[in-house]
Amino acid sequence: MRLLGIETSCDETAAAIVTRDASGAGRILSNVVRSQLTEHAPYGGVVPELAARSHVSHLDHIIARAAAEAGMPLGDVDGIAATAGPGLIGGVLVGLTTAKALAAALGKPLIAVNHLEAHALTARLTDGLQFPYLLLLVSGGHSQFVLVRGVGQYERWGTTIDDALGEAFDKVAKLLGLGVPGGPEVERLAQTGDPHRFDFPRPLLKQDRLDFSFSGLKTAVRLAAEAIAPLSDRDAADICASFQRAVTEIVSTRARAALARFAGQMPTVAPVLVVAGGVAANRAIGGGLRAAAENAGARLVVPPIPLCTDNGVMVAWAGAERLALGDTDGFDIAAKARWPLDAPDMGLGHGH
């Protein structure tokens, strides 16, 4: 089957066409992403109203390009999938309403996709993974460990009690006057810095839980920067390197604990840790996770970075996985700003 996927929940306008055969193998026919980065840059962060308007301006062209690059008329798809949440509600409404209109006009089934589920299932497309596996989702909006048991079967094992990890990178970058998005800038500066100059706190690390907290760390970075202001280039690089060392240690320690829990609950399953979200691009964190996985005898799977950040492929693929189970949505389905992955309305709970 062939699915169109539409993603508009944050600052990427994206559409893609993906196939899934009866064996569960997938193929990407097209993948079009338009970032709004430069539109939001003057404001130092994503402006929701501006994002929604920009999605309105561009989404129809992006969808047309996705069909053209796949070499097929839109009417040949077997279903229309769109992110229905969680995310910035104005943008989600643009994508979901467009999907409803297309589904109605073309007479195709509609699949309302949870954005987090789309991230969670991507590794089945890219690496053909079987259930269950452990997911670490680290993006600008989310930091969570999720046990992925099946399509619609998710157990959240830990989340952030304040900032998301990508958000912490972005705030540190902003504090240091670096560009957006902050994560890659902090990583670039960190390469030349001394990771041991500052000993930043590792909140919650001594506690026996899989949750994250990054806001205390961000405050510690601010206080350290204020104490030595004005900052030289060297100071800024040392702060970035020390911050990155702290978060790498936090994430790796948590991953070790999550993999230990996985092994304890499912001793007969070969453990797999999947990393998704924009922060998966960070090489220091990736190295820490690789070591944690090796230590636990687990396989680490990081899908190609363009499929870890927001894109239409993951939405089309999640739509295909749901459609394969006969799980479609009515036109009365609502866009949701909040939609936790383990909410009761997450679907039928099929395990395959």
Radius of gyration for the chain, computed over Cα atoms and rounded to the nearest angstrom: 20
From the list 20-28, 44-52, 125-133, 138-146, the region that binds Zn ion by CB under 5 A is 138-146
Q: Is residue 279 part of the contact set for ligand KG4 (CB under 6 A)?
A: yes
Question: Measured from the CB atom, is 151 or 281 closer to ligand KG4?
Answer: 281
Question: Measured from the CB atom, is 238 or 321 closer to Zn ion?
Answer: 321
Tokens of 248: 């790498």
- Contact indicator for 209, 253 with CB cutoff of 8 Å: no
Q: Is residue 144 part of the contact set for ligand KG4 (CB under 6 A)?
A: no
Q: Is residue 310 part of the contact set for ligand KG4 (CB under 6 A)?
A: yes
Distances from the Cα of 300 to the Cαs of 108, 159, 296, in angstroms?
A: 37, 20, 10
Rounded least distance, CB 244 to ligand KG4, Å: 8
Residue from 36, 83, 139, 252 that binds Zn ion (CB under 5 A)?
A: 139
Residue from 83, 282, 317, 322 that binds ligand KG4 (CB under 6 A)?
A: 282
Q: Is residue 140 part of the contact set for ligand KG4 (CB under 6 A)?
A: yes
Strands 153-158 and 143-150: antiparallel
Backbone angles phi, psi at 290, to 5 degrees: -65, -45
Site string (294-313) toward Zn ion, x via CB under 5 A: ----------------x---
From the list 68-76, 122-130, 163-171, 289-297, the region that binds ligand KG4 by CB under 6 A is 163-171
What whole-number distance in Å separates Cα of residue 256 and Cα of residue 131? 20
Residue from 117, 163, 187, 329 that binds ligand KG4 (CB under 6 A)?
A: 187
Backbone angles phi, psi at 14, to 5 degrees: -140, 145
Nearest to 86 by CA among 320, 343, 336: 336
Question: Measured from the CB atom, is 103 or 341 closer to ligand KG4?
Answer: 341
Exposed e or buried b per residue across 305-316, where buried means at least 16 C-beta atoms within 10 angstroms of its C-beta? eebbbbbbbbbb
What is the CA 309 to chain-centroid distance, rounded? 6
Backbone angles phi, psi at 148, to 5 degrees: -100, 105
Measured from each CB, the residue nearest to Zn ion is 310
Residue from 79, 278, 303, 319 that binds ligand KG4 (CB under 6 A)?
A: 278
Tokens of 39: 């539109």
Could you list the residues that contact ligand KG4 (CB under 6 A)?
Answer: 10, 139-141, 166-167, 169-170, 181-184, 187, 277-279, 281-282, 309-310
Could you list the residues that contact Zn ion (CB under 5 A)?
Answer: 139, 310
